[in-house]
């Protein structure tokens, strides 16, 4: 009887830990997707600012982002790709 109760308790503990693990994986995946989306928007924003500043032609009207700013946004976005590829999207 005690062995049966101990086995049932162990099973319940294993099931609870499996649920925690699945929730953690789901949260990690959502974080990776959120960060990738955020960096995509940041890069698009820098590109749009550069286009608008070039179209206006007057640096006093709208300051154009530097090439370093655009490069930084691209590098950050590119660095997120391996995390997105590793994410469990199922």
What are the mean pLDDT values of the chain's consecutive 10-residue runs (90 residues total)? 91 93 84 91 91 77 81 91 76
Task: Output the pLDDT for position 7.
Answer: 92
Task: Output the pLDDT for position 9.
Answer: 92
Interior angle at CA 44, CA 41 and CA 45, nearest 5: 85
Task: Output the pLDDT for position 17.
Answer: 93
Burial class (CB in 10 A: 0-12, 13-18, 19+), 55: exposed
Count of domains for the chain: 1
Domain encompassing residue 38: 2-86
Residues 10, 69: Cα–Cα separation, whole Å: 54
């Amino acid at each position: 009887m005690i062995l049966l109760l101990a086995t049932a308790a162990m099973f319940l503990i294993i099931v609870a830990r499996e649920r925690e693990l699945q929730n953690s994986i789901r949260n990690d995946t959502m974080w990776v997707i959120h960060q990738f989306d955020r960096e995509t928007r940041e890069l698009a924003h820098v590109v749009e600012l550069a286009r608008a500043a070039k179209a206006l032609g007057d640096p006093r009207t709208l300051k154009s982002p530097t090439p370093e700013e655009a490069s930084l946004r691209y590098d950050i976005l590119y660095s997120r790709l391996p995390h997105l590829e590793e994410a469990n999207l199922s």
